[in-house]
Amino acid sequence: MPPALTRLAATALTGTVLAVLAPVGAHADGTVDRELASTKKALDVYVDEERALADGYLPDGECVESAEGVMGHHYVRWDRIDRELDARAPEALVYQPDGYGGRELVAVEYFYADEDQDVSTDDDRPRLFGQPFDGPSEPQAPGLPVNYSLHVWLWQENPDGLFSPWNPRGSC
């Protein structure tokens, strides 16, 4: 995680301003900040959970949490679990309860299948937004291969960092 962080403001569909953390200095010209802002803008349509469902994201049924914090409910596009990455087409969207009986979008998660399916090797570790993916990890759910993953908390501030897998401010 880069030592310096800056805040980018982004307006959600509700009109509230959410804080979005982005690494400073990853690229002196601000490329990563622009990529993050552009990705968030493209994915803001999924603030509407119904849109995610209509676009083929399937909820996994459980809210993932640990002593380190919360992820949330993962909505997965199973047809995207492969060895391709597109920042604007994440493999999973992460939602948390909104306090009103619904769910709110808090993050995206990118998955990348490990080529040799061996957790002891990592010579194919991908990067996105200048960040190396976590892993390789054993499958986190039935149907997943050994994989690398990267969380990006674009809609919920995470004191542990924009790319941390767990958010201590989240809730299930």
Instruction: Please provide residue 170's backbone torsions phi and psi, each rounded to the nearest 5 degrees.
Output: -75, 175
For residue 28, name the pLDDT band (cuts at 50, 70, 90): low
**High-pLDDT (> 90) share of the chain, %:** 78
Domain assignment of residue 57, given as a range: 5-152
> Residue 54 contacts by C-beta under 8 Å, 6 or more apart in sequence?
none
Give mean pLDDT, residues 89-98.
97
DSSP class per residue in 38-84: HHHHHHGGGGSHHHHHHTT-EEEEEEEEETTEEEEEEEE-GGG-SS-
Q: Let me know if residue 34 belongs to a domain.
A: yes
Mean pLDDT score of the chain? 85
> Residue 141 contacts by C-beta under 8 Å, 6 or more apart in sequence?
60
**Total domain count, the chain:** 1
DSSP state of 15: S
Give mean pLDDT, residues 29-37.
90
* Residue 139 buriedness (CB in 10 A; 0-12 / 13-18 / 19+): exposed
Rg (CA), the chain: 15
Q: Let me know if residue 172 belongs to a domain.
A: no
> Residue 36 contacts by C-beta under 8 Å, 6 or more apart in sequence?
8, 20, 22, 129, 152, 154, 162
Q: Let me know if residue 167 belongs to a domain.
A: no
Give mean pLDDT, residues 84-109.
96
Q: Let me know if residue 66 belongs to a domain.
A: yes
Q: Let me know if residue 164 belongs to a domain.
A: no
Is residue 133 within 8 A of residue 149, CB to CB? The reply is yes
pLDDT at 8 over 70: no
Q: Let me know if residue 60 belongs to a domain.
A: yes
End-to-end Cα, the chain, rounded Å: 26
Give mean pLDDT, residues 64-68.
96
Q: Let me know if residue 165 belongs to a domain.
A: no
Is residue 150 within 8 A of residue 134, CB to CB? The reply is yes
Q: Let me know if residue 141 belongs to a domain.
A: yes
